[in-house]
């Protein structure tokens, strides 16, 4: 079996060289195995770059083989630790193969980042006669991440301190009145040149159902997974903090890092306290 990373001594030497050079010193996240989906998106690349500097062992997942290979080589050539695997998250067969590969190669993983993405903009009128568009969106934004998460739960439990970070548009209690605008903004921010997006046009109408389903699953999983030592976090995007000129992908990557560290200031899908009139 291929070795995932250099011997511990070599890894320690590399981290020490970075510290002497003024880069980030050895971090608490160093050595953790992180599975990152949609790795070639803007947010995925920013997150991979950030976590690589911190010394994590990255497992990069994306459906674009060429861009995935280029990203992996970019990280490893800079001294990072990365493996990659091509997977279309809308194809359940691909996901099953990915889960089998990850569990066979690594046994335990520390973090799963479900970097879910919205479909390209377009109204219901554009695909009202194309039920396949809704099926594809539901598969990519809900059933795919769901199947991957459930398949990797044993590997997360085995690490004894697993984290699942779900990235996506903000949806609070149900579907707020401004959800279409929020989803449309997220779709524009995260759009990619992709044949799949051209084949399955969609927009807020196609995204809202899958996004709401995923948000509700995340909320329930947060409480159900806790007794097993797995923490579930939600990072909402696009994130554009006031007073910063950083790109949304960079700020989202920083939010993902904070979630992995267990920083409770990171937005999560937790139920707000009920008012007395609701009790």
In the chain, the number of structural domains is 1
Q: Is 142 contained in some domain?
A: yes
Q: Is 236 contained in some domain?
A: yes
Q: At what angle do helices 204-225 and 179-189 cross, to 10 degrees?
A: 90
Question: How far is CA 80 from each of CA 56, 59, 74, 152, 164, rounded to the nearest angstrom?
Answer: 8, 12, 9, 24, 22
* Beta partners for residue 164, in sequence order: 112, 232
Q: Is 173 contained in some domain?
A: yes
Cα–Cα distance for residue pair 195/272, rounded to 1 Å: 40
Name the H helices within the chain: 8-20, 42-53, 65-77, 92-106, 124-127, 131-138, 144-158, 179-189, 195-199, 204-225, 248-261
Q: Is 150 contained in some domain?
A: yes
Q: Is 133 contained in some domain?
A: no
Q: Is 89 contained in some domain?
A: yes
Q: CA angle, 137 as apex, 134 and 138 as ends, to 5°?
A: 85
User: 116 burial class (0-12, 13-18, 19+ CB within 10 angstroms)?
Assistant: buried
Question: 245: domain CATH number?
Answer: 3.40.50.720
Q: Please give the residue range of the domain that contains residue 227.
A: 33-118+138-177+206-269
Q: Is 192 contained in some domain?
A: no
pLDDT in tens, the chain (279 residues): 444 444 444 443 444 444 444 444 458 899 999 999 999 999 999 999 999 999 999 999 999 999 999 999 999 999 999 999 999 999 999 999 999 999 999 999 999 999 976 554 455 555 555 677 788 888 888 999 999 999 999 999 998 889 999 998 765 444 444 444 544 444 444 444 344 444 444 456 667 788 888 888 888 998 899 888 899 998 877 655 555 667 888 889 999 999 999 864 443 333 333 444 444
For the entire predicted model, the pTM comes to 0.74
């Amino acid at each position: 079996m291929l070795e995932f990373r250099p011997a511990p001594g070599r890894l320690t030497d590399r981290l020490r060289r970075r510290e002497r050079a003024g880069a980030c010193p050895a971090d608490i996240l160093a050595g953790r195995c992180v599975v990152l989906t949609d790795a070639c998106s803007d947010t995925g690349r920013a997150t991979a770059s950030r976590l690589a500097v911190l010394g994590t062992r990255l497992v990069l997942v994306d459906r674009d083989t060429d861009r995935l290979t280029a990203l992996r080589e970019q990280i490893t050539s800079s001294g990072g630790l990365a493996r990659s695997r091509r997977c279309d998250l809308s194809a359940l067969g691909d996901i099953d193969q990915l889960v089998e590969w990850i569990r066979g190669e690594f046994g335990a993983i520390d973090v799963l980042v479900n970097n879910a993405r919205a479909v390209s903009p377009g109204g219901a009128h554009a695909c009202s006669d194309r039920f396949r568009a809704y099926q594809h969106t539901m598969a990519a934004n809900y059933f795919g991440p769901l199947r991957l998460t459930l398949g990797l739960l044993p590997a997360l439990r085995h690490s004894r301190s697993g984290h699942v970070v779900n990235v996506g548009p903000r949806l609070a209690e149900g579907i707020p009145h401004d959800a279409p605008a929020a989803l449309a903004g997220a779709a524009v921010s995260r759009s990619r040149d992709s044949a799949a997006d051209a084949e399955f046009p969609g927009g807020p109408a196609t995204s809202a159902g899958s996004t709401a389903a995923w948000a509700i699953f995340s909320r329930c999983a947060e409480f159900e997974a806790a007794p097993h030592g797995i923490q579930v976090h939600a990072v909402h995007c696009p994130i554009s903090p006031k007073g910063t000129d950083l790109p949304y992908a960079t700020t989202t990557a920083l939010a993902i890092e904070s979630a992995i560290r267990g920083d409770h200031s990171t937005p999560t899908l937790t139920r707000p306290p009920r008012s007395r009139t609701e009790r």
